[in-house]
Amino acid sequence: MSKRIIAGIAIALGTAIGVGGAGATETGGIVNAQYVAPVDQGAAALAPTGVYAGAVTTSGGFTGDVAEGSATAPVTIIEYASLSCPHCARFHTGTYPALKSQYIDTGKVRFIMRDFPLNESAFAATIIARCGGAQSYLSFVHHYLSTQDSWAFGNDWLNQVETVGRQRGLDPQRIDACLKDGELFQSVNERRKAGAAVFGVNSTPSLVINGQRYDGRSDFNSLSQVIDSLL
């Protein structure tokens, strides 16, 4: 893959990660940088407490939220996650299945996954996850998280990220178009910055429950106690 694409990812990350501001860390230890939260009057529109509708870009990438669960659920949980974060992977293999079966599928919780990539491999994987459109976004996310060790940490990470896309039905031309899609890149980057500005997100995974950032433990028992108190 072209070095220009890798440079584009680095530039996109560089617009948000620099010196000053609140500390942004990927709790798996991939990134330990300083996050500059923008003063952006439109941040709340990009990071609402409900579903962000988004749009389809010229490459076919989807920029919006994909929600699980009932639209009338009394509790909405937004997860900000980086696909290369080991703690995010553990949340999705440990806490998420029980959360889905006991709360999401029963209409008690609406769950929204939001991208907060904190390194180059996570950013590329996010772009390809969104490349397939709204219908396949969550399946890509879960696949990347469950196979994280096979693609996120090696020197050949970009080829590995692309391989996942091809294996899951995206043709090489579509992948290339998405990785070059400036609108898709900007959407991911601006919404990540909005999450920091609106909710103070500075690590992954971060949970926002009914509009408030949750700073407690993310194991199922701790999370279920919070959910039950809101039902």
Per the structure, the complete domain to which residue 149 belongs is given by 3-230
Which residues, at least 6 apart from 160, have a Cβ–Cβ distance to it below 8 Å? 150, 151, 154
Does the bond joining 205 to the residue before it have cis omega, within 30 degrees of 0? yes
Token code pair at residue 112: 């929204």
Number of domains in the chain: 1
CATH code of the domain in which 54 resides: 3.40.30.10
Give me the tens of pLDDT residue by residue for the chain, a chain 231 residues long.
454 555 555 555 554 443 222 334 443 322 333 344 444 568 989 999 999 999 999 999 999 999 999 999 999 999 999 999 999 999 999 999 999 999 999 999 999 999 999 899 999 999 999 999 999 999 999 999 999 999 999 888 889 999 999 999 999 999 999 998 989 999 999 999 999 999 999 999 999 999 999 998 999 999 999 999 999
Residue 166 DSSP SS3: helix
Token code pair at residue 76: 């909405």
CA distances from 219 to 88, 107, 205, 222, 225 (A): 12, 20, 12, 6, 10
